[in-house]
Amino acid sequence: MKLLTLLFAALALASCDNTSKDSTNTPAAAPQESSLSGNVEVLHWWTSGSEGAALNVLKEDLESQGVTWSDMPVSGGGGDSAMTVLRTRITSGNAPTAAQVLGYDIKDWAKINGAVANLNTIANAENWDSVVPEALKNFSKHNGVWIAAPVNVHSSNWIWINKEALDATGGRAPTSWDELILVLDAMKANGLTALAHGGQAWQEAVIFDAVVMSLGKGFYKSSMIDLDTRALGGAKMLEVFRRMETLRSYVDDNFSGRDWNIASGMVIEGKAGMQIQGDWAKGEFVKAGKKPEEDFVCIRFPGTEDAVVFLADQFVMFDIKDSDKPAQLAMASAIMKPKFQSAFNVVKGSVPARLDVADTDFDSCGKKAIADFAKASKNNGLFGSLAHGHAAPAAIKNAMYDVITGHFNGVYSNEEAVKQLVIAVAAAK
């Protein structure tokens, strides 16, 4: 309680420095200590076992402060269904306290007059500006106003390999495209589904992210971020679709519609050899009691070792009635605490959204992820994920999804997919 009194005193002082500009609301007034018995309603798509466990870290933290939790789960990785539900809530004037939102979608909410909260009071008091990396702040802030609290950094260019299945191939973890194919062939020959995959557009886009990056950082930037027509329609993109077609041939027949965590389960149980997926997959391995190096191996997708295709889950805070704001600020503050960032991300499989959190409690894959992120940030190796709305706005992302998933499901040949990609992006621009 003493700590809270201090925090609220600091907030009261900080609120004198009103840095608000633009369409977002003025900073919420400093909450009174007694009003901390509020409730937060939180919309998210964390419905797998490990995601639920990570969310519990936040729920319990808030409950210990007297803040109750109303859960609004909307399943579907990538968050497309969650965004549809969120839109309905906002347009009917019934905003939740906070919602999990990714990348460019955050910018879209920020542009809607009066929709989002202004967190500057607490962000200034707690000095978020000096600890959150620029790549994340680019989405958490709108015209100088903090509107979201980043909870993690994930990346999508990972492969999760069953250790026993890898050992049975007699090989080591692949470091090039050719080696990857050799390992997949050997796993197939050993009677496994070599590649565990969930046939949903966003999951195909995750593989696509990694394959594009494996053909060069410059190519990823020009095609996925700059949306350069020559890169989208050129020889390298044809090679991307060839590789996607090759990877497709290692997937079992029942992949259609499968959730990502079910695909992770196939690798965990040794029914499949590997999964190309973001590091939320590691959360599932850990939840199942599996250990890196002993039970599974984590590698960057071959050819992407010096790059991080990143995304960050952020809780956008919405403009809600004044009486509910203290609980909302308590949630934002709890998310940004270094201790919470460590505890949460150890369970979630991700990296802290603050640069000052020690990697002590993380396993070897987590330590690698933290080091990779720091290195990529310094060496121009950090690129937003197309699959997760950090490379381009939703219209472009969805246009690419259609082509990528159409190709994966045999609607387009490699050559047709390249042509369609150019057309789809041009139409969505």
C-beta of residue 352 within 8 angstroms of C-beta of residue 345: yes
Among 142, 388, 390, 397, binds ligand BGC (CB under 6 A): 388
CB of 293 to ligand BGC, least distance (A): 23
Using CB under 6 A as the binding rule, whether residue 287 contacts ligand BGC is answered as no
Contacts made by residues 132-138, CB under 8 angstroms, sequence distance 24+? 132/353, 132/354, 132/355, 133/353, 133/355, 133/377, 135/310, 135/312, 135/377, 135/382, 135/384, 136/312, 136/314, 136/353
Binding mask 72-91 for ligand BGC (x = CB under 6 A): -----xxx------------
Using CB under 6 A as the binding rule, whether residue 280 contacts ligand BGC is answered as yes
Using CB under 6 A as the binding rule, whether residue 258 contacts ligand BGC is answered as no
Take residue 304 and report the two structure tokens written for it. Answer: 């992407």
What would you report as the CA-atom Rg of the chain, rounded to the nearest whole angstrom? 22
Using CB under 6 A as the binding rule, whether residue 417 contacts ligand BGC is answered as no
CB of 347 to ligand BGC, least distance (A): 11
The residue with tokens 């609290």 is 149
Binding mask 107-136 for ligand BGC (x = CB under 6 A): ------------------------------
Using CB under 6 A as the binding rule, whether residue 313 contacts ligand BGC is answered as yes
Using CB under 6 A as the binding rule, whether residue 217 contacts ligand BGC is answered as no
The residue with tokens 């509020």 is 38
Using CB under 6 A as the binding rule, whether residue 301 contacts ligand BGC is answered as no
Using CB under 6 A as the binding rule, whether residue 51 contacts ligand BGC is answered as yes
Nearer to ligand BGC, 8 or 362 (CB): 362
CA angle 202, 375, 195 (to 5 degrees): 35
5 three-class SS? helix
Using CB under 6 A as the binding rule, whether residue 265 contacts ligand BGC is answered as no
**DSSP string covering 364-397:** HHHHHHHHHHHHHHHTT-EEE-TTTTSSS-HHHH
Using CB under 6 A as the binding rule, whether residue 373 contacts ligand BGC is answered as no
Which residues in this chain contact ligand BGC in the complex, by CB under 6 A? Answer: 45, 51, 77-79, 102, 154, 260, 280, 311, 313, 388
